[in-house]
Amino acid sequence: MFLETDGIVLRTSKSTNNDIFLTILTRKAGKIEVVANGAKSSRSPLSACSKPFVFGLFMINTSGKMMKLVSCTIHESNFRITESLEAFAYGSYIFEVCHHTTHKNVIEPEHYTLIVEIADILSKQTRDYKLLQLAYLVKLSKFTGHMPNLTDKCMKCGETLDDYVFAVEEGGLIHRHCAGDQNTSYKLNLTFIQILRYLLVKDIRVILKTKFHDKYINKLLPMMETYLMYHTEMSAINSKAFIEML
């Protein structure tokens, strides 16, 4: 059996022989793992596509225990991402988080489209890396089914919110008096909430054309990271250290 699908390489790992294992986020089959036999050799026709960020049409043999990459037509190699330290660091972060929060063989059209779009944006050297990172995390909460409560009603008691906090464990906005002492919460004013709502619904390219003050991004980024790590199975983001080194 063969599967032909568009996809984007999330990560690669090398075997002890000449093979490369690829994790590909595909349009037709969700996240899959395939082996590219002999791809470590630069003479292999599979070597050019066995790299992170490559977007292409993959032909895969699904018969065996381990799926095998047969051929690939590259749409965009996105090689420019690896030429900029910042683009590479943020790209690695987003692709790692995508890997942690997707399940094998589960088709997620919106998540897939966003990842392809983000790779394209990163390869064209955007400047707003932090905004891109934040927008991805906010949209990701929707894809994983953990969209935070951003309505004017308390998540805990259901009454209209006046004085509120963003509570990580409870899943969004609640009254300050409804928040437990032990739980993680962030005090946010209305502007923060409006930004979160905006990032949730707007197209990623529209978001990147909008200017936000750094103080908003810098507060919302660790908050969304904490929020997603609590609600998903993601326990660590290794490439975060890479961003911190920039």
Site of interaction with Zn ion (CB under 5 A): 154, 156-157, 175, 178
Our CB check for Zn ion shows the closer of 157 and 201 to be 157
Our CB check for Zn ion shows the closer of 139 and 156 to be 156
User: Least distance from C-beta 188 to Zn ion, angstroms?
Assistant: 16
Cα dihedral 78/111/219/195 (nearest 10)? 110
169: helix, strand or coil? coil
User: Least distance from C-beta 193 to Zn ion, angstroms?
Assistant: 16
CA distance 228 to 233: 9
User: Least distance from C-beta 181 to Zn ion, angstroms?
Assistant: 15
Q: Which two tokens stand for residue 104?
A: 């094998």
Our CB check for Zn ion shows the closer of 190 and 236 to be 190
Our CB check for Zn ion shows the closer of 131 and 179 to be 179
Backbone angles phi, psi at 171, to 5 degrees: 95, 40
User: Least distance from C-beta 13 to Zn ion, angstroms?
Assistant: 47
Our CB check for Zn ion shows the closer of 91 and 171 to be 171
**Do 101 and 187 touch, CB atoms closer than 8 A?**
no
User: Least distance from C-beta 112 to Zn ion, angstroms?
Assistant: 37
User: Least distance from C-beta 223 to Zn ion, angstroms?
Assistant: 19
- Residues with Cβ < 8 Å from 56, sequence gap 6 or more? 6, 7, 8, 49, 72, 73, 74, 75, 76
> Hey, which bits of the chain come out as E strands?
2-14, 20-26, 30-36, 55-61, 67-76, 164-167, 172-175, 185-186
Residue number with the smallest Cβ distance to Zn ion: 154
Our CB check for Zn ion shows the closer of 157 and 246 to be 157
